[in-house]
Chain A
């Protein structure tokens, strides 16, 4: 026999059948169903109706549904102003990146050229000047006072003995064995003596 409480329980039977109720309500409904044949019958009828509806309902095939939707979205042409704004946005991003790298490269190159290149020649090929006068095979040369003799020297680097080099002989090639080089300290003058061939 249906009671006043059954009127309150009946609307909740569907949710109870589907397991959608909270803990307190679910326990209240379950306690009521245990002692109420009318509601239990109603509950059974509701369950049977749900089962019948699920059995007769056609479940659509959703295979590939998501990908198909995404493809159709991609095929949609956005409005012109959106395309223009997107184009300029991409160009701005690319130019900013390229310009940043280009400017950095140019700055580094310019700094390298300005700061390093003028001093490179001091370290390439110049070396430190030798503060001695060197004579090769001095027997044929007129020996001045300030000559230091170094025998068996080949292509010596000679710098006149002064604080500031006046003459630098970087290389000397000759098949004449009595070619000589010397310098005068007081005038910082270098002499290359090339005697006659014998």
Chain B
């Protein structure tokens, strides 16, 4: 009579222990921060920006996109924050918060010198990209693409729009930056 509850209890304990171990397992997060100079000079898109060209052209209506710098950082879920330098004297501070609902959660803080400009809590799909616009530069602006990737989430299929971006034309009504 005691053997059945005992076996059940042992199974439950083992299951919860394995679940807790899987839950608490540290995960790695790879960050790539690409700074792009966007302008209306009709020079097209830099070939090095092919992976994100569709996303750039879908949200902006500039005619030129040129890669200024590309930086990489590696950290872990809820690990140490990573600091990136951006053109225009800005600093990008990324603090991973972990994996939530299959998305990479992190807190972004953008500084100009010592002044905090923006702090935001963001969740990205694996290999997802968030664009940060600004500052304006001559006839265009500096755009920063923040891409996050976690090998733990790599088993999940990548978003279709990122893996095979449709070549939809940018909306004609979208005004260009002409400052």
A→B interface (CB under 8 Å): 96, 99-100, 102-104, 106-107, 109-111, 113-114, 117-118, 121-122, 125-126, 141-146, 162, 164-176, 179, 182-184, 186-197
Beyond A109-B16, A192-B133: 7 further Cβ-contacts under 8 Å? A107-B9, A144-B61, A165-B103, A167-B130, A184-B59, A187-B58, A192-B132
> Interface code B110-135, partner A: CB below 8 Å = 1, 0 otherwise?
10100101111111110011111111
Q: Are B130 and A190 in contact (CB under 8 A)?
A: yes
| Prevailing SS type, chain A contact patch | mixed
CB contacts (< 8 Å) of B122 on chain A: these are 167-170
In the complex the two chains form, is B54's CB within 8 Å of A187's CB? yes
Number of interface residues of B (CB under 8 A): 57
Residue in A106, A125, A143, A191 whose Cβ sees the most chain B Cβ within 10 Å: A191
Report the 9 A-B pairs with minimum CB-CB distance, sorted nearest first.
A145-B171, A110-B12, A187-B58, A184-B58, A193-B133, A168-B123, A103-B9, A110-B16, A189-B55
- B82 contacts the other chain (Cβ, under 8 Å)? no
In the complex, 9 of the A-B residue pairs with CB atoms within 8 angstroms, ordered by the A residue number, are A99-B6, A106-B9, A106-B13, A109-B12, A141-B133, A172-B118, A187-B58, A191-B133, A194-B110
Q: Are B161 and A194 in contact (CB under 8 A)?
A: no
Query: Is there an interface contact between B121 and A170, defined as CB atoms closer than 8 Å?
Result: yes
Which among A100, A145, A188, A189 has the highest number of chain B CB atoms within 10 Å?
A: A189
Q: Are the CB atoms of B135 and A195 closer together than 8 Å? A: yes
B residues neighboring A (CB under 8 Å):
2, 5-6, 8-9, 12-13, 15-16, 19-20, 23, 54-55, 58-61, 100-101, 103, 108, 110, 112, 115, 117-125, 128-136, 141, 159, 161, 165-166, 168, 170-177
Report B-chain residues with C-beta under 8 Å of the C-beta of A164.
125, 159
Known contacts A114-B16, A142-B175, A168-B123; is-contact A192 B118 (Cβ 8 Å): yes
Contacts of A182 in B (CB 8 A): 59
Do A176 and B165 touch across chains, with their CB atoms under 8 A apart?
no
Chain B residues contacting A121 (CB-CB under 8 Å) are: 100-101
Q: Tell me if B119 and A173 are in contact (CB < 8 A).
A: yes
Contact B117 A142 (CB under 8 A): no
User: What residues of A have a CB within 8 angstroms of the CB of B54 in the complex?
Assistant: 187
